[in-house]
Amino acid sequence: NAVSDGAAAMDPAEEPPSILWGLDPVFSAFARLFVRDILQMTESIQIPGIYFYNFHPIYKVDVLGTVVYKRERDDFFCYGVDDGTGVINCLCWKSKLLKEEEDPNKCGDADFGGFNPVAELRKLREAQQRRCRLDIGELIRVRGPVKTSRQQREIMASTFYKVDDPVMAVQIAWMMEVPQLYRQFYDKRFELNAAGYRNPPFNADNLPVRSLNKIHLKPKPTDYKEKQNSSVEGEAERPFCNARLSQLLKEVLQVLQNEGVVYRKVKSQDEVYTVTTQDKDLLIAVKDVIREDSKREKYAEKGCHVLHILSAVRQRYSLNLSKAALELVLKTLECDSDIVSTSDSHYVAF
């Protein structure tokens, strides 16, 4: 059965404390749940607007389905989305671009030497309207937080758009991916043991999160005798806990370095790590190398090869930059339209 029954009502006494929710990687993601499970999730008694599926705290979801009813108001669209397991109401707010009316007195083409920003804005508005005004039977993608309004579960869309899927390729890919997410994540109950570690034990090769959180290592004793006993036990366990946390930190940093997420600009005893895509000087250095070298005759046709870029950036910026880190930088620059890839491994600057 592709749709799990893990969203059954949960005993409020078993609800995990909110301080631990951030340890669950599902909490910070748009959960791709089936609509039936979204409708059946249990709402948190600690914080309204947070829901639980199989003890996973969830507040925002990602849904793909067919529009089965629609309503339009001045400020929003209201679409009923059916993914085959159920129907959920999606409240989709209109952007200012959709609500603005065109001013016929604005300047014409001659004032801008043939380029008319009014006409371009009109084209943008029309394209957005085509994407946001859906008819019954069309495919829609909706992402946003889950809310309960007038005892009805609905999605307050932060992003929504029409999906063009003439050969059902998007729907087939979705139907193959979502059951995999259920098996690998959603249907596996997220638990913590007394030491605050995940069950099963932490494995750096399957690291699910990008950040470390403060963990309460041992519950507070309730009476004096327990306090005395726990004090003795705590003294004995503290070296082990410190060593374990230190080892976990090293494993996490090693994984992040291997993936290029962080790097050490200068190797020193301080062991200072920098988030790769947030190092503005590194981004500028990579962009400068590509812009300067792609003008040379040798690289004019295909652009600069990634290994050439890596060598040049290492010489002028940091010898410790890894290929994985450089690839993340290249993706960031390409997303910002600063560079463009001419092949899988060649880049030129705009």
Tell me if 66 sits within 8 A of 138, measured CB to CB: yes
How close are the terminal C-alpha atoms of the chain, in Å? 50
What DSSP letter does each residue of 233-295 carry, written as one string? HHHHHHHHHHHHHHHHHHHHHHHHHHTTSEE-SS--TT---EEGGG-HHHHHHHHHHHHHHTT
Q: How would you write the pLDDT of the chain (350 residues) with one tens digit per residue?
A: 444 444 445 666 678 888 888 888 899 899 999 999 999 999 999 898 999 998 899 999 999 999 999 998 888 889 999 999 999 999 998 876 555 554 545 555 545 556 778 788 777 777 777 777 888 999 999 999 999 988 899 999 998 888 999 999 999 999 999 999 999 999 988 776 544 445 444 343 443 333 433 333 334 444 444 445 545 455 555 666 677 777 888 888 888 889 999 998 888 777 788 899 889 999 999 999 998 988 888 888 888 999 999 999 999 998 989 999 999 999 888 888 888 888 888 888 87
Give the rounded distance of the alpha carbon of 82 from its chain centre: 24
CB 57 within 8 A of CB 23: no
Provide the 8-state DSSP code for 113: T
- Identify the three-state secondary structure at position 311: helix
Q: How far apart are CA 283 and CA 262, in angstroms?
A: 14
Residue with tokens 């230190």: 246
Query: Minimal CA–CA distance to 182: which of 60, 57, 83, 37?
Result: 37
